[in-house]
């Protein structure tokens, strides 16, 4: 059985120039706002209070709710954009990324397999695969601030409240619990150990 409300919303946005690949698989809310030159791939769900700017691409299996997507942003595939999130112009949220109550600055990227919660991310920041902002300590939520031009290596945990200053680098696999100064490299990785001539035990 067809949902006439959804059919009407799909037709409305198609007439406004929104490009939908598989429109019957895309779901809108009655208050959805979409700009010009927007592409929405199959199996996208857009919840209430979502505003999408111009020249945006939303890839398959993404879920958006109560958020603002500015111009020239790319989302997904398999991304979850949770309430009170703002994706600034030219930013990118990639596959299997969840972002909640955060601001992602202009031209910043969170490309893969990451969780950003209660974050303030500056311009041109790169957040590597597997990065987590540890925003909840079991009692309260705290913020993570990452300033312009910072680089966060893969599989890093940023334990909030914490601040990463401009153009700093967090090495892959680090657990950051203290503020990182401007233009520095922060590492908390254990040293690599190698055992020569090691032989596995036989059964």
SS3 of the chain: helix, strand, coil, percent, to 5: 5, 35, 60
Reported as a pLDDT band with limits 50, 70 and 90, residue 56 is very high
Reported as a pLDDT band with limits 50, 70 and 90, residue 25 is very high
d(CA 46, CA 25): 11
Last residue of a domain, one of 44, 74, 100: 100
Reported as a pLDDT band with limits 50, 70 and 90, residue 159 is very high
| pLDDT at residue 2 in the model | 65
> Is the residue at 194 inside a domain?
no
Q: What is the pTM of this model?
A: 0.93
Domain shared by 132 and 77, yes or no: no
| pLDDT at residue 85 in the model | 98
Domain shared by 35 and 61, yes or no: yes
Domain range for 121 is 107-188
Q: Is the pLDDT of residue 75 over 80?
A: yes
| pLDDT at residue 192 in the model | 87
Residue whose token pair is 């592409």: 39
Of the residues 112, 143, 166, 167, only one is catalytic, namely 112
The answer to whether 86 and 73 are in contact (CB under 8 A) is no
142-155: pLDDT as tens digits: 999 999 999 999 99
Last residue of a domain, one of 70, 100, 130: 100
Q: What's the structural domain count of the chain?
A: 2
Concerning whether 112 is annotated as a catalytic residue, the answer is yes
> Is the residue at 13 inside a domain?
yes
d(CA 112, CA 96): 6
Q: Is the pLDDT of residue 1 over 70?
A: no
Last residue of a domain, one of 61, 78, 100: 100
> Is the residue at 52 inside a domain?
yes
Domain shared by 69 and 150, yes or no: no
| pLDDT at residue 183 in the model | 97
Average pLDDT in the 175-198 region?
Answer: 94
CATH number, domain containing residue 166: 2.160.10.10
Domain shared by 115 and 167, yes or no: yes
Q: What is the DSSP string of 67-123?
A: EEE-TT-EE-SS-EE-TTEEE-TT-EEEET-EEES-EE-TT-EEEES-EEESEEE-T
Q: In this structure, is the dihedral angle defined by the CA atoms of residues 70, 125, 109 and 50, taken in order, positive or negative?
A: negative
Percent of the chain with pLDDT over 70: 99
Average pLDDT in the 25-51 region?
Answer: 98
> Is the residue at 202 inside a domain?
no
| pLDDT at residue 201 in the model | 84
Q: Is the pLDDT of residue 117 over 70?
A: yes
Q: Is the pLDDT of residue 203 over 90?
A: no
């Amino acid at each position: 059985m067809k949902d006439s409300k959804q059919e009407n919303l799909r037709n409305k946005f198609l007439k406004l120039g929104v490009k939908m690949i598989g429109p019957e698989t895309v779901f809108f809310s009655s208050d959805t706002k979409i700009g010009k030159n927007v592409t929405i791939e199959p199996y996208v769900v857009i919840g209430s209070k979502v505003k999408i700017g111009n020249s945006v691409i939303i890839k398959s299996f993404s879920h958006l709710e109560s958020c603002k997507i500015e111009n020239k942003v790319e989302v997904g595939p398999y991304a979850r954009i949770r309430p009170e999130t703002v994706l600034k112009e030219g930013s990118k949220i990639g596959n299997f990324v969840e972002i909640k109550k955060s601001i992602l600055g202009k031209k910043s990227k969170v490309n893969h397999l990451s969780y950003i919660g209660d974050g303030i991310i500056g311009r041109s920041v790169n957040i590597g695969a597997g990065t987590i902002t540890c925003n909840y300590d079991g009692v309260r939520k705290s913020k993570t601030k990452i300033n312009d031009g910072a680089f966060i290596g893969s599989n890093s945990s940023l334990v909030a409240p914490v601040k990463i200053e401009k153009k700093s680098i967090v090495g892959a696999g680090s657990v950051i619990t203290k503020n990182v100064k401007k233009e520095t490299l922060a590492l908390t990785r254990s040293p690599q150990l190698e055992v020569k001539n090691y032989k596995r035990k036989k059964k």
